[in-house]
Amino acid sequence: MNTLLLVDTSILLHKAIYVQAYDGDPVYTFWEYIKSLKKITNPDHIVFCLDDVKMTWRHKLYLPYKAQRPEKTEEFKTFKDYIEGRIKKKYLYEVATDYESDDFIGSLAMQYPGRVYIASSDLDLSQLVSDRITMLKFKKGKYEEDRFISNGYEVVTPSYIVNRFGVYPSQIPAYKALAGDSSDNIKLPIRGLGGVAASKMLLLYDDIPGIYKHLEDEDFIFPKFKEGLIEHKDQVDLFLELTNIKKNLCTSSLSKILKK
């Protein structure tokens, strides 16, 4: 079975430039990460997924989406432009105009007819994880020379998701829609509704339609949330749409891979 490595390039750029605080070289670090990922996954193909514009379809649906994130520094923009210039000369890549790189990662992962590894630290992507698709999550922590080569990743599998969030990978969008996600600036105005309650409802009722189907049951698991869930159903549906990664985008890189 052939293997595809998908690189969440924006995440890795941030990870690499972080080493400057510890006297590291971000350009060297970026390519050493790529070298280590290639060694771990032995890919037949590698695709770099790049973010292009700030305003995506998610921002158009929900203006506060990621609005709390600070503007990129000029230093970061210069580093990003340099690395992306190198990538475009040598590798397959997708530029996420109007979409996010997550949407291209999701589409490539689901449409590629083989083994897939996703290199990222964005657990939104964990909804894609399966027996065929594995996520290599960059670990946090102080930069140490060669640390990222030997033990700089966590292997995210379906069991990892169940153990961490209490739900299955396919339930992650619903989990985040209900529990909120501070990194994306989404949160329902329902007091007390967090990760624990969200995971218990989803394990009992499967998905958000299932929750609303049983909302008026006398033995509904969390009666204190009934009123809020009814009042804010439109927002729940909106957040569910925002947290679902696209899986059906046409990608030039996959077309090139399949032609080989």
Summarize pLDDT for 117-128 with one digit per residue, the tens: 999 999 999 999
**CA 44 and chain centroid, separation:** 23
Topology (CATH level 3) of domain 3-165 = Rossmann fold (3.40.50)
Residues of the chain with CATH 1.10.150.20: 169-243
pLDDT for res 22: 57
**Higher local confidence (pLDDT), 72 or 146:** 72
Helix axes 195-205, 172-179, angle to 10 degrees: 140
Q: Give me 231's structure tokens.
A: 């009042």
Q: Is the pLDDT of residue 150 over 60?
A: no
pLDDT confidence band for 21 (50 / 70 / 90):
low
Residues of the chain with CATH 3.40.50.1010: 3-165
* Number of CB atoms found within 10 A of residue 65's CB: 20
Q: Is the pLDDT of residue 146 over 50?
A: no
Question: What is the mean predicted confidence (pLDDT) over 87-110?
Answer: 94
pLDDT for res 54: 72
pLDDT confidence band for 140 (50 / 70 / 90):
low
**Higher local confidence (pLDDT), 93 or 28:** 93
Q: Is the pLDDT of residue 143 over 70?
A: no
Burial class (CB in 10 A: 0-12, 13-18, 19+), 241: middle
pLDDT for res 46: 98
pLDDT for res 207: 98
pLDDT for res 122: 93
Question: What is the mean predicted confidence (pLDDT) over 159-181?
Answer: 97
pLDDT confidence band for 61 (50 / 70 / 90):
very high
CATH number of this structure's domain 169-243: 1.10.150.20
* Span of 14-18, 89-93, 121-125, 137-141 with lowest mean pLDDT: 137-141
Sign of CA dihedral 116, 9, 129, 141: positive
Q: Is the pLDDT of residue 226 over 50?
A: yes
Distances (CA, A) of 147 to 9, 121, 144, 170: 20, 16, 5, 32
Model confidence pLDDT, tens digit, residues 185-220: 999 999 999 999 999 999 999 999 999 999 999 999
Sign of CA dihedral 63, 65, 68, 73: negative
